[in-house]
Amino acid sequence: DFVDETSSESPAPGGGSVAALAGSLSGALSSMVAWLTVGKKGYEDAFEPMKKLAVEAQQVKDAFLRAIDDDTAAFNAFMATMRMPKKTEEQKSARDAAMQQATRRAIDVPFSVLERCPQAVSLAEKAAARGNENSLSDAAVAASCALCAAEGAYFNVLINLAGMEDEVYQTERQNKAKALLQQTREAALA
């Protein structure tokens, strides 16, 4: 249903929600690799670390899943502010303030996705390093999904930053987003 809705003329869910979905798939795959390791002969030393990894990966997956709807809600809130009246100076002022608040939310949601991506890659790396060798490709796909999530979230942060009037916030977020993307890329491609 999500994919069908994304492929429709509806502007939401869009790229931000899809980036969050990719992140959730990363966490899901890391958890899967961990559980495919626990209880398998020859991996006894990895049972406890993989159990912990599975729990952490589930938490990461769930956070990304929440961001799917949060991103759609942020977009819808932004669109609602666009429809606010602007006939009087007071209305224009209220609309402008609401637009800045809605824009900040539209930045903060994909930024939170981007912030989680290094952790998602780290989980995939740990799953690959100690997990069931038969699931190595799944751990690699988990890292790829985390990178996809990071790149998608980064693009959504950038496009929304263009609407921010607060230049200090804009510069800080852009620099931090760029650093998070680079950190994720380096880890995912290592």
pLDDT for position 190: 83
pLDDT for position 11: 85
The single residue listed with the structure tokens 């402008």 is 96
d(CA 153, CA 74): 14
Contacts of 165 (CB under 8 A, 6+ apart): 100
Reported pTM: 0.93
Q: Where are the beta strands (DSSP E) in the chain?
A: none
pLDDT for position 137: 97
| Contact present, 50 and 39 (Cβ < 8 Å) | no
Under-50 pLDDT residues of the chain:
none
